[in-house]
Chain A
Amino acid sequence: MLTLAQTRHVARLARLALTDAELEDARARLAAVMGYMERLKAVDLAGVEPLTGVGPGANRLRADTPGPTLPSGTPAALAPARHGEYVRIPRVLGEGGGA
């Protein structure tokens, strides 16, 4: 049974600020879904290798040759808060910092 404290821990790991009502809703729904997952424990998986993907196997690398790229200002311009060409974030060092 998933507790509210566990749900709060998951929300923190997921980087989601949830209200108490949202947390309780999340707890109830997560518990219901996790209950359904229990059926997997009945499947015989002895000796079965995990399958992470169905592609051709290893990723293929493309040749390391120069080509057109986005101008450096283009992705920077997408940032919702900027300082000149830089992306602005809250203080992470010194007083008031700490992520």
Chain B
Amino acid sequence: MKTAAEIAAAVRDGRASAAEVTTDALARAEHHRGLSAFTQVFTEQARTQAAAVDDLIRERGGAGLPLAGVPVAVKDNICIGPDTGYGGRTTCASRMLEHYESPFTATCVRRLIDAGAVVIGKTNLDEFAMGSSTEHSCFGPTLNPWDQTRVPGGSSGGSAAAVAARICPVALGSDTGGSIRQPAGFCGVVGAKPTYGRVSRYGLVAFASSLDQVGPFATNVADAALALEAISGLDPFDATSADRAVPAWSSELDTPITGLTLGVPAQARAAANHPGVTAALDAMIAVYRELGATVIDIDLPLIDEGIAAYYILAPAEASSNLARFDGVRFGRRAALGDRDSLLDLYTRSRAEGFGPEVKRRVMLGTHVLSSGYYDAYYATALKVRRRILDGFNAAFARCHAILMPTSPGPAFRLGEKAADPLALYMEDVYTVGVNLAGLPAFSVPAGFADGLPVGVQVIAPAFEEARLFTVARMFERETTHHQRVPPR
């Protein structure tokens, strides 16, 4: 498979057609069906859309189509309506929305299509994006292309697996507490979580609205830049989208990083790390020193508290956001008897529609918001959130970007963390702080441990994605981790 940049250039120049590229991508999706990366594949719609891209280029050339003919996959918590020609279901991998067909389209998807991309399918996820393994899907788990006994990470595991298996060069995910970066790390691809507000959330099914952000997966930094450029920017339909110019990141990648200072928190070498993770971080530091960057020790003291704060705030917001699933307006509705009440309709529809992890988080969120517990948990977590942001700001007074593992270990086995309620949450120890602080952070392929990919994340101040692209690209140029592909 070629990169997104190569595909788009070839399709624009007439050296390839979007139709051929799409046919190949659909064949790869079929070949890798066993991974269960997709919840649905848009076979016919993608061919129609590809033909439309080819027609457009024949009629008026390829200008304004930075993603001409590029096959993309979209996480199945992002709405695609019939207005695009695709339609289909937006399931959130939940029985609740198993048959839901969104009447409208997310802004990020609309922008991908406008840029010439061809959507080949919707990808699997942990139900309502709640999880770090893609095991909590009503369609069953997605498998890691590197080792099919292991999870791809989550919640955007289907998107990560699709890109890692080279089914498509770009996929969209969403990141509320690490749901792009952690699966990117587990699958050996680039995962870009932009600044909160950089990408419109219109059409993203809400999990925790103050933390959710859409971003791309790609096999390399340049493709991630192309995709993020296409989807970023102000959107009148999302009041939290930022009124900021979108830089031409993809044309400014190869900028030397001499003079940059990179900070490595003491907490990044925690004892709980797999030794291969710490080794990958150290190897990355050596590369950056070689490139002329200064690497300094910093402190991010509230990392463990970040997990506690996150697992109060995100479930609290989720319990509110998921209140809309009531069996009345859309989604699953329980069968009732004549004597059953409206309350029965709510409680039974939700009991039937939500899976175990979603129920747990809704319960947790309801509990921390309930009378008598609000101050002790929710209000306290909001103050910790402020302290975490202050901690990042203090660090950025000393360095331009922060390096930290994406996860404490490589991909774990399916079912390995199912029994212990905290074990799975601890997977997010290095990622949730970034969401609480609203920062941009990219996970980049940084090495291998026990034959499995390891990601390291680069974190920058808000709206400094340009710095992340440069720092990530300079490392990529010196290494070959991103070129390794999983066994067929």
A contacts, CB < 8 Å to B: 7, 9-18, 22, 26, 29-30, 32-34, 36-37, 39-41, 43, 45, 48-56, 59-62, 70, 74-75, 78-81, 87, 89-92, 96-99
The answer to whether B341 touches A80 (Cβ under 8 A) is: no
Give complex CA distance A48, B343 in Å.
Answer: 40
The answer to whether A52 touches B210 (Cβ under 8 A) is: yes
Q: Choose the segment among B47-55, B181-189, B255-263, B323-331 that binds chain A (4+ C-beta atoms closer than 8 Å).
A: B323-331
B contacts, CB < 8 Å to A: 100-101, 103-104, 196-197, 210, 236-237, 239-240, 242-243, 302, 304-305, 307-309, 311-312, 319, 323, 326-333, 336, 338-348, 350-351, 354, 359-360, 362-367, 370, 377, 379-387, 389, 421-422, 425, 436-438, 462
Give complex CA distance A29, B328 in Å.
Answer: 30
Provided the pairs A87-B329, A90-B345 are in contact, do residues A40 and B380 lie with their beta carbons within 8 angstroms?
A: yes
The one of B197, B304, B345, B363 that contacts A89, using a Cβ cutoff of 8 Å: B345
The answer to whether B377 touches A37 (Cβ under 8 A) is: yes
Give complex CA distance A92, B344 in Å.
Answer: 11
The answer to whether B381 touches A40 (Cβ under 8 A) is: yes
The one of B331, B338, B383 that contacts A48, using a Cβ cutoff of 8 Å: B383
Inter-chain pairs besides A36-B308, A43-B387, 7 sampled, C-beta below 8 Å? A15-B323, A15-B326, A33-B425, A49-B383, A50-B385, A52-B210, A56-B197
Give complex CA distance A80, B328 in Å.
Answer: 7
The answer to whether A79 touches B328 (Cβ under 8 A) is: yes
The answer to whether B379 touches A50 (Cβ under 8 A) is: yes
Q: How far is the CB of A14 from chain B (nearest CB, A)?
A: 4
The one of B210, B386, B422 that contacts A49, using a Cβ cutoff of 8 Å: B386
The one of B240, B323, B339, B421 that contacts A32, using a Cβ cutoff of 8 Å: B421
Residue of A whose beta carbon sits closest to that of B234: A60
Provided the pairs A33-B364, A80-B327, A96-B338 are in contact, do residues A15 and B350 lie with their beta carbons within 8 angstroms?
A: yes
Residue of B whose beta carbon sits closest to that of A59: B239
Give complex CA distance A10, B363 in Å.
Answer: 6
The answer to whether A17 touches B350 (Cβ under 8 A) is: yes
Residue of B whose beta carbon sits closest to that of A19: B351
Q: Which residues of B contact A99 (CB under 8 A)?
A: 341-343, 346
Q: Which residues of A contact B197 (CB under 8 A)?
A: 55-56
Give complex CA distance A37, B76 in Å.
Answer: 31
The one of B333, B347, B385 that contacts A15, using a Cβ cutoff of 8 Å: B347
The answer to whether B340 touches A90 (Cβ under 8 A) is: yes
The one of A9, A18, A29, A96 that contacts B421, using a Cβ cutoff of 8 Å: A29
